[in-house]
Amino acid sequence: MPSDDLPMTTRDLLRVIADYAAVVAANRTYLIELDAAIGDADHGENLDRGMKAALDRLAEADPGTPADVLQTVATALISKVGGAAGPLYGTAFLRAATSVRGRGELGAADLVGALRAGLGGVVARGKAEVGDKTMVDAWDPAVQAAEQVVTAGGSTREALTAAADAAEEGMRATIPMIARKGRASYLGERSAGHQDPGATSSALLFRVFADVADHSS
């Protein structure tokens, strides 16, 4: 870990979740509009409801470790959110929690490992791969970018910033794609020309991680 690199604490992760909930609420209508074009228009509504439930659960649970935060969010999303968003995001947070169990704070390698585990959960649950026009198109390049930074000796802030940049690029790359998974796949070629809502909400999540790491360092 670089000498000036600060680990991500439980408090930092709580801020990530609070900030992401606010970002989702602010972008709720936008996410609904994206989903209305190629899905069933429920992504923004479902994710907003899920993040509000996660905040309520966290307030009740008073988590003591990063894994506790991630586990609590996972439980809320899986139990409270319908559609694809709850199971996919919930599984991502659950796998991430498992990967950092027992750690009091998360260094760059821990965070990247958690993101890799989260991606594995999304892929296992949704059976999607890069190019299918799903949230994987944001998650996969984000995780790869973060891993490259950490392998090169970069800091947590640098890794998460690279992840956020790559996620946003992956999000934009979904626009010309023809969907091969989910409700959007029913549209066939008509799904091209629209940005995937799951990739969009994922890019928003990675940017929140980067912003919290930037302000904490």
The predicted pLDDT at position 4 comes to 52
Q: What is the mean pLDDT of residues 15-27?
A: 98
Rounded alpha-carbon distances, angstroms, from residue 185 to 74, 97, 144, 169, 190 = 27, 31, 26, 22, 9
Do the beta carbons of residue 127 and residue 181 sit within 8 Å? yes
pLDDT digit string, tens, across residues 183-211: 787 787 887 999 999 999 999 999 999 99
Cα–Cα distance measured from residue 206 to residue 167, given in angstroms and rounded to the nearest whole number: 7
Q: What is the mean pLDDT of residues 28-57?
A: 93
Among 159, 84, 90, smallest CA distance to 118 is for 90
Average pLDDT of the chain is 93
- Using pLDDT thresholds of 50, 70 and 90, give the confidence band for residue 217: low
DSSP string, the chain: --TT---B-HHHHHHHHHHHHHHHHHTHHHHHHHHHHHS-S-HHHHHHHHHHHHHHHHHHH---SHHHHHHHHHHHHHHH--TTHHHHHHHHHHHHHHHTTT-SSB-HHHHHHHHHHHHHHHHHHH---TTSSSTHHHHHHHHHHHHHHHHTT--HHHHHHHHHHHHHHHHHHTTTPPP-STGGGGGGGGGTTS--HHHHHHHHHHHHHHHHHHHH-
The predicted pLDDT at position 3 comes to 40
Cα–Cα distance measured from residue 187 to residue 79, given in angstroms and rounded to the nearest whole number: 29
Instruction: Output the pTM of the full model.
Output: 0.95
The structural domains of the chain, ordered by start, are 8-215 (1.25.40.340)
pLDDT digit string, tens, across residues 137-190: 999 999 999 999 999 999 999 999 999 999 999 999 999 998 987 778 778 788
The predicted pLDDT at position 151 comes to 97
pLDDT digit string, tens, across residues 121-142: 999 999 999 999 999 999 999 9
Q: Does residue 1 register a pLDDT over 70? A: no
Q: What is the mean pLDDT of residues 64-73?
A: 98
Q: Does residue 2 register a pLDDT over 70? A: no
How distant is the alpha carbon of residue 42 from its chain centre? 17
pLDDT above 70 covers what percent of the chain? Answer: 98
